[in-house]
Amino acid sequence: MDEATGGWNRADKGDEPARGGRWSTSLALSILLLASLIPLAAVVEGSGWWITAGVAIASVLVPAGVVRSLGGAPWLGSVVGAVTWVLVLVVLFVPDSAILGIVPTVDTVAAVQELAIAAGQSIYVQSVPVDPVTPLLFLLAVGTGAVAVLADVLAVSLRSPAFTGLFALGMLVPPSIFTGSLDMVAYLATAVAFLFVLRSDRPAASSRSARSSSRVGALAVGAAAVAVTIVVGTLVPGFSTRSVVQPDGRSSFGSGVSALADLGRDLLRPGNTPHFAYRTTSTSRQYLRLLTLDRFEGAQWSASGEHPTVAQTDGERLAVPGLTSGVAIEEATVDVEITGLVGDLLPVPFPSVAVAGLRGEWEWDTDGLTVSSGSSSVEGQEYSVTALVIEPTADLLRAAPDDVPDAVAPFLDLPDDVPETVSRVFDEVTAGSATRYDAAYAIQEYLRTEFAYSVSTPIDDGYNGDGFEAIAQFLEARSGYCVHFASAMAILSRMAGIPARVSLGYLPGDRVGSDDGFVAYRVGSNDLHSWPELYFAGVGWVPFEPTPGRGSVPAYAIDASNDSGTDEVPESTVSRAPSATPTPTASDESAVEAGAVARDEPSGLQTGGVALVLLLVVVGVLLSPAAVRSLRRRRRWRAPRGATARDAWDEIVDSATDLGFEVREGDTERDLASRLRRLSLLDPSSADALDRVLAARERERYAHDLGPTADARRLRQDVDRVVEALAASVPVVSRIRAALAPASVLTRRSAADVRPARTG
């Protein structure tokens, strides 16, 4: 040590407090990361996975802390932590492929790949809560360990503990999205742990600098949280990209107790994720159905499942129940490509008579004309549907005989305990309706004109359902969404003696283009919809649209020429965006995007999306030093009381560091100024500017009184001039490096000035 004349100075300045601080930082970080994992408990079964996550976090932070306490540099600790983390992963998960169970080999990479693929399959197969099988635990260990490494680098090596809040947020948020609720306990625990992380850095950074760095942190957190959320979402089991990006179709309709309630939930989920795309030869806008609900027992609508089914085969045509030859019919071909929908229900227009091109076993419900499967999934299916476009006239419907065939009689069943409100509304609305069609029209018009579309009111007021009670409240409140409108109209129609059922499916979606006689549409989760279908003898089942602002009213349900004569709903009514749900408006030609026909979309959309997100994150991470640098610059110039000489000087120091000028820790302001002047051969006016900033900084820091306050704008001009001149004096490469990878981000920010101890 005696020979090391260079090192004596630092060695003797006492690193003890900082070292202690780092230990407590490591501890606080561990607690923070573990706390942010709490919400995972909702989506992962058991508690064993906690141990795995804890081991992963400890494998990073403990060695890092040990190295630092032995006098290693902060960055060395991070490196050692990362290495031990990798080794622990190898030992725990792929020891067979490694030499002595610990030294990774080429086989290890393959083994890891296998594990990752297995994990992906496991995510795909499992539903929430997932069983923490080994591949998933591996993913968990990788994810939490990676976050621990990054947090350690940020909090200790870069002295920016505030940024760790970003990771905590990134780990907290995905489960919350998934479960749809905020885990307040987890949030509080994480927040407290985060405060400890900030506090543990106190010995080195005063509270003021912690505050200011957390202000920078807060900005960066806002920008990057989303990116990190998605990354962690892909890394942590339970949150495949699917679950974050799209509602899980299976959970909605396949297993749900109440299909309508599930649909409501899916509809309310924020964000519009693609479900499928189709193109059709029909010129009218078709609804696509997944399921019909025919039984109403007072509490909710359900599918009785009592209808005959036939296996689906290509080329076989089905008959449309109730349809007779007196109705104008047009045949259309609809090609569907599933892009995001999951489950065992096939979206088809009504009425469809044939489907071709499906993989797997599918069967028709011959009555509802829906297609479903007990064993296959709609995922990735591409199929062609032959559908009929029925265009009955209002007169035809009005003329339909009142007698109901036996097969349709069950569609009139209603429980006896009809609520008083419902009966009253029924009496009011249908009074004076001469025919069943008039009654149906009156009900539709009543709902369309007197009611408001709202997704929030039913939830807020507690009647978010489709049973008698909910509908009674809905009729009082006159506000709800498609589920309520469809259920209400179906109930009222049955009361009027019209066989009725509720269909679940999709609005026509967004028109994205047309070519070759086809019109292409894209359909997403926001297009989920439900509507009533009413039976008229001779025509069969015809859909109605009672929901205001959603979908379009069929032509036969518009022209009620008997008494009211109102014809205010234009034929080409398109969906208006309701207030609470961002429904994409299917506007006409303006929405046509060149080449955006559904067919042309890559089939590996999902993979591409994930790759894109990862790429964006990588780019984001690479650019984050530049972002931090620019935030610092903005913070300096945007200081509430104007930039001080200190800010101006710091900006010059940082810029000089970025541009590769030597900045020594022991420099006085004057030392640095003269070195810059010497090395960059500043022109006289820039040198004057530098002198002005220098003088202001020296006066601020060393003089008894401030004298005339430095003009913030003048300071900024001077700084800009100096930085410009400095930049001009270095090679282009240095300038690019300064812009993309500013070295000043890595320098320790000088802590805020400490108040001097009061002496005698």
Between 71 and 110, how does the x/- string for binding to other proteins read (CB under 8 A)? ----------------------------------------
Under rule CB under 8 A, residue 755 binds other proteins? yes
Counted residue by residue, the chain has a size of 760
Instruction: State in angstroms the smallest separation of the CB of 2 from other proteins.
Output: 5
Q: Look-up: residue for tokens 């008083």?
A: 420
Determine the interface stretch with other proteins among 100-108, 233-241, 631-639, 696-704 (rule: CB under 8 A): 696-704
- Rounded-to-integer distance, Cα 681 and Cα 692, Å: 17
Smallest Cα–Cα separation from 291: which of 325, 317, 266? 266
Instruction: State in angstroms the smallest separation of the CB of 669 from other proteins.
Output: 8
Under rule CB under 8 A, residue 306 binds other proteins? no
Determine the interface stretch with other proteins among 255-263, 362-370, 680-688, 695-703 (rule: CB under 8 A): 695-703
Residue type, position 26, single letter: S
Strands 479-480 and 452-453 turn out to be parallel
**Concatenated DSSP letters of 277-318:** EEEES-SSPPPEEEEEE-EE-SS-EE----S-EEE--TT---
Complex with other proteins: residue 183 or 647, whichever CB lies closer: 647
Quote the distance between the C-alpha of residue 50 and its chain's center.
25
Please pick, from the candidates 305, 664, 678, 732, the single residue that binds other proteins as defined by CB under 8 A. 664
Complex with other proteins: residue 2 or 416, whichever CB lies closer: 2
Instruction: State in angstroms the smallest separation of the CB of 206 from other proteins.
Output: 9
Complex with other proteins: residue 9 or 324, whichever CB lies closer: 9
Under rule CB under 8 A, residue 703 binds other proteins? yes
- Rounded-to-integer distance, Cα 500 and Cα 502, Å: 7
Please pick, from the candidates 374, 516, 665, 732, the single residue that binds other proteins as defined by CB under 8 A. 665
Complex with other proteins: residue 209 or 339, whichever CB lies closer: 209
Please pick, from the candidates 391, 461, 691, 700, the single residue that binds other proteins as defined by CB under 8 A. 700
- Evaluate whether 647 touches 637 at the Cβ level (below 8 Å): yes
Between CA 141 and CA 151, with CA 146 as vertex, the angle to 5 degrees is 125
Cβ-based neighbours of 658, under 8 Å, separated by 6 or more? 629, 737, 738, 742, 743, 744
- Rounded-to-integer distance, Cα 275 and Cα 606, Å: 12
Under rule CB under 8 A, residue 16 binds other proteins? no
Instruction: State in angstroms the smallest separation of the CB of 706 from other proteins.
Output: 7
> Computed from CA positions of residues 32, 38, 40, 41, in that sequence, does the dihedral angle turn out positive or negative?
positive
Please pick, from the candidates 211, 576, 634, 670, the single residue that binds other proteins as defined by CB under 8 A. 670
Under rule CB under 8 A, residue 688 binds other proteins? no
Please pick, from the candidates 331, 450, 460, 753, the single residue that binds other proteins as defined by CB under 8 A. 753
- Rounded-to-integer distance, Cα 178 and Cα 300, Å: 26
Complex with other proteins: residue 10 or 634, whichever CB lies closer: 10
Please pick, from the candidates 305, 462, 640, 756, the single residue that binds other proteins as defined by CB under 8 A. 756
Task: Show contacts with other proteins in window 398-457 (CB under 8 A).
Answer: none
Smallest Cα–Cα separation from 481: which of 465, 495, 469? 465
Smallest Cα–Cα separation from 396: which of 565, 286, 564, 557? 557
Instruction: Give the pair of three-digit tokens for residue 16.
Output: 């003890």
Complex with other proteins: residue 317 or 704, whichever CB lies closer: 704
Determine the interface stretch with other proteins among 43-51, 138-146, 442-450, 750-758 (rule: CB under 8 A): 750-758
Under rule CB under 8 A, residue 662 binds other proteins? no
Residue type, position 401, single letter: P
Smallest Cα–Cα separation from 160: which of 633, 628, 630? 628
Please pick, from the candidates 76, 92, 743, 752, the single residue that binds other proteins as defined by CB under 8 A. 752
Please pick, from the candidates 561, 668, 685, 709, the single residue that binds other proteins as defined by CB under 8 A. 668
Between CA 353 and CA 362, with CA 356 as vertex, the angle to 5 degrees is 85
To the nearest 10 degrees (0 to 180), the angle between helices 164-179 and 207-235 is 40
Instruction: State in angstroms the smallest separation of the CB of 195 from other proteins.
Output: 24
Integer angstrom CA distances of residue 116 from 93, 107, 489: 11, 14, 50
Residue type, position 292, single letter: T
Q: What is the size of the binding site for other proteins (CB under 8 A)? A: 30
Instruction: State in angstroms the smallest separation of the CB of 690 from other proteins.
Output: 15
Determine the interface stretch with other proteins among 388-396, 490-498, 509-517, 658-666 (rule: CB under 8 A): 658-666
Under rule CB under 8 A, residue 5 binds other proteins? yes
Determine the interface stretch with other proteins among 125-133, 161-169, 172-180, 660-668 (rule: CB under 8 A): 660-668
Please pick, from the candidates 611, 612, 623, 706, the single residue that binds other proteins as defined by CB under 8 A. 706
Please pick, from the candidates 211, 215, 634, 701, the single residue that binds other proteins as defined by CB under 8 A. 701
Please pick, from the candidates 667, 688, 691, 720, the single residue that binds other proteins as defined by CB under 8 A. 667
**Concatenated DSSP letters of 519-583:** EEEEEEGGGEEEEEEEEETTTEEEE---STTSS---GGGT--TTTT----S-TT--PPPPSSS-P
Please pick, from the candidates 305, 462, 595, 666, the single residue that binds other proteins as defined by CB under 8 A. 666
Under rule CB under 8 A, residue 9 binds other proteins? yes
Under rule CB under 8 A, residue 641 binds other proteins? no
Determine the interface stretch with other proteins among 6-14, 154-162, 598-606, 680-688 (rule: CB under 8 A): 6-14
Under rule CB under 8 A, residue 359 binds other proteins? no
**Concatenated DSSP letters of 503-531:** EEEE---EEEEEETTEEEEEEEGGGEEEE
Residue type, position 506, single letter: Y
> Computed from CA positions of residues 674, 678, 680, 683, in that sequence, does the dihedral angle turn out positive or negative?
positive
Instruction: Give the pair of three-digit tokens for residue 654.
Output: 């940082």
Complex with other proteins: residue 11 or 612, whichever CB lies closer: 11
Determine the interface stretch with other proteins among 378-386, 480-488, 599-607, 752-760 (rule: CB under 8 A): 752-760
Under rule CB under 8 A, residue 751 binds other proteins? yes
Please pick, from the candidates 379, 601, 698, 720, the single residue that binds other proteins as defined by CB under 8 A. 698
Complex with other proteins: residue 317 or 758, whichever CB lies closer: 758
293: exposed, middle or buried (C-beta count within 10 Å: 0-12, 13-18, 19+)? buried
Complex with other proteins: residue 2 or 406, whichever CB lies closer: 2
Complex with other proteins: residue 469 or 700, whichever CB lies closer: 700
Please pick, from the candidates 19, 242, 478, 699, the single residue that binds other proteins as defined by CB under 8 A. 699
Instruction: Give the pair of three-digit tokens for residue 646.
Output: 């200190």
Cβ-based neighbours of 707, under 8 Å, separated by 6 or more? 699
Instruction: Give the pair of three-digit tokens for residue 256.
Output: 């749900």
Q: Which residues on neighbouring strands pair with residue 333, listed in sequence order?
A: 386
Determine the interface stretch with other proteins among 429-437, 454-462, 555-563, 700-708 (rule: CB under 8 A): 700-708
Instruction: State in angstroms the smallest separation of the CB of 666 from other proteins.
Output: 5
- Rounded-to-integer distance, Cα 392 and Cα 542, Å: 9
Complex with other proteins: residue 73 or 740, whichever CB lies closer: 73
Q: Look-up: residue for tokens 């974050």?
A: 244
Instruction: State in angstroms the smallest separation of the CB of 207 from other proteins.
Output: 14
> Computed from CA positions of residues 277, 281, 283, 284, in that sequence, does the dihedral angle turn out positive or negative?
negative
Task: Show contacts with other proteins in window 524-543 (CB under 8 A).
Answer: none
DSSP secondary structure letter of residue 432: T
Instruction: Give the pair of three-digit tokens for residue 95.
Output: 């020891």
φ, ψ of residue 710 to 5 degrees: the values are -70, 135
Q: Which residues bind other proteins (CB under 8 A)?
A: 1-2, 5, 8-10, 12, 664-668, 670-671, 698-706, 750-756
